[in-house]
Amino acid sequence: MTSSSAVDFYWRPGCGFCSRLERELAGRNVTLRKHNIWDDPAHAAVVRDAANGNETVPTVVIGAVALVNPSAEAVVAALAAAGR
């Protein structure tokens, strides 16, 4: 997968769900643009917008589609639906 088809991956340190999803996506050769929600308030705002005001991570954004705490399979399916 090229960097132009990378997905935006919102995470925070210490999040086991984030670590697991990152590993599973790496195993499927999905390129991630990682955004630590604790480093940038704008990143946290993206997650709150997607998660009904909560800072639920991992959150993955593919184009206009946001997936809150998705499975790796859901991310791959969303990539396929987006033609990536």
Spatial CB neighbours of 43, under 8 Å, sequence gap ≥ 6: 10, 35, 36, 37
Residue 6: its pLDDT value, please?
84
What confidence tier does 83 reach under pLDDT thresholds 50, 70, 90?
Answer: confident
3-81 fold? Glutaredoxin (3.40.30)
pTM of the model: 0.91
pLDDT by residue (tens digit) across 53-74? Answer: 999 999 999 999 999 999 999 9
Residue 22: its pLDDT value, please?
97
pLDDT by residue (tens digit) across 2-22? Answer: 345 789 999 999 999 999 999
Ordered by start, the domain boundaries in the chain are 3-81
Spatial CB neighbours of 34, under 8 Å, sequence gap ≥ 6: 9, 11, 22
Peptide bond into 70 cis (omega under 30): no
Residue 23: its pLDDT value, please?
97
Q: In what order do the strands lie in the sheet with 59-62?
A: 32-36, 7-11, 59-62, 65-68
